[in-house]
Chain A
């Protein structure tokens, strides 16, 4: 192994760990959605490190476990940027790294409105073995996942994904509607999809004492998502759709846990997916990094 290559990486990792240790935890209030987005962006300067996992059943083939890490950073109060690293294990097969995604969400309006738009742009560079199902689009169907990893990973997908997120908070409820359009940068037609979500904390008032199990820290919700075909064949024909009730637990220590059993709604969908995630929010990460490059501040 080349030590000169490892040392700079080790140094970077130790700096990152030191910064994370310096940054304190800020308690988020995350909705249980795994696919849908609402209009709440990351607080400026905060870094949220997330791990998500999807166990999926597969008819006529082996089940799979897809997983991904997210690094979500609040660049400003109106702009959140996020890096994803994806991987997948097919039972009885292999484990593979399946690519990365870089997404940006921008809130164009200053104030809160009945409906709050957020613009979303993502670039993804994944291979055909990617199974994280962070969105369902076009004619994505269950049988797409039957290809063995060794073959599927040879297919490279560079895609640009655009979303319009329309979300509202009303009397403690959040309602969100996402429409998405995806363009594979090779010569393939635009593909479309949707995600809908509704969620609500189990109680509206905050408790007078700090507690982990107070109902205010639990948010229950449901999301539904699926494909809408492509430019050449728009509609519900040969598309898959899912319904997923979910629960998020936002601990005062900065941890959030989510769980979402997901049910396929038609014959083209996986019958069942079990999705869960854990995340931790570091506040003041951006300031720590900028201080590192500026030297000691006053």
Chain B
């Protein structure tokens, strides 16, 4: 490979990586009002869906395993939120229609950094919804005032 090609490629790659990492450094908006408002965008046909696994005794433990595998990294332990993603223990999520939470999982909020999880089969997404909504409301770690010294 010619040196000029190699240099050009390196410059191209470096510029690209700087851009990506700059984008990573800029946190996607996790302001509760803007994030939780996404739930209201769920179409009626999703919102009105009933959770087919609501009474399945395995849905909560299975949802917990799935949560730990796919969601905990961003939403934090016990779903209390991190800098990357909001708390799922907020009242807005806990009292939302299960179908709305399912819709968010299926479609993601791509422009705000939440990936699409349609690659998980529907029953696994419902198991996740069941687990998340079984946790109950709690104050997000991110919203807690700093402890006084």
Contact = CB atoms under 8 A, between A and B. Distances in A.
Interface of A: 24, 26-27, 29, 31, 38-41, 43-45, 73-78, 81, 83, 100, 102, 107, 110-112, 125, 169, 171-172, 174, 201, 204-210, 216, 252, 283-284, 286-287, 289-290, 293-294
Contacts of A290: 21-22, 24-25
Identify the interface centre among A44, A201, A210, A289: most chain B CB within 10 Å of its CB. Answer: A44
Interface string B123-138: 1100100000000000
A27 B58 contact: no
A218 B66 CA distance: 15
Contacts of A216: 124
B121 A43 contact: no
13 contacts: A26-B73, A31-B119, A44-B24, A77-B114, A77-B115, A112-B107, A125-B1, A172-B121, A205-B121, A206-B66, A207-B62, A252-B69, A286-B24
B110 A206 contact: no
A125 B127 CA distance: 45
Contact of B20 (A43, A75, A206, A284): A75
**Interface footprint category on B:** 35 or more
Interface of B: 1, 5, 9, 13, 16, 20-25, 58, 61-63, 65-66, 68-70, 73, 84, 106-116, 118-124, 127
B110 A208 contact: no
Identify the interface centre among A112, A206, A286: most chain B CB within 10 Å of its CB. Answer: A206
Contacts of A125: 1, 5, 9
A284 B27 CA distance: 13
B116 A40 contact: yes
Contacts of B124: 204-206, 216
Given A73-B20, A169-B118, A205 B127 contact: yes
Contacts of B120: 29
Given A283-B73, A289-B24, 4 more contacts: A40-B119, A77-B115, A206-B65, A252-B69
Given A125-B1, A284-B73, A286-B24, A81 B122 contact: no
A74 to B, nearest CB: 8
A204 B123 CA distance: 6
Contacts of A283: 73
Contact of A111 (B20, B22, B63, B107): B107
B62 A208 contact: yes
Contact of B84 (A100, A287, A294): A287
Nearest to B116: A112
A83 B17 CA distance: 12
Contact of A286 (B20, B65, B69): B20
A45 B113 CA distance: 10
B24 A287 contact: yes
A206 B121 CA distance: 9
Contact of A206 (B22, B118, B123): B123
Contacts of A287: 24-25, 84
Contact of B65 (A43, A111, A208): A208
A207 B62 CA distance: 5
B15 to A, nearest CB: 12
Given A26-B73, A125-B5, A206-B124, A75 B115 contact: no
B17 to A, nearest CB: 8
A124 B23 CA distance: 25
B125 to A, nearest CB: 10
Nearest to B69: A27
A283 B68 CA distance: 13
B16 A112 contact: no
A72 to B, nearest CB: 12
Contacts of A111: 107, 110
Contacts of A205: 58, 62, 121, 123-124, 127
B14 to A, nearest CB: 12
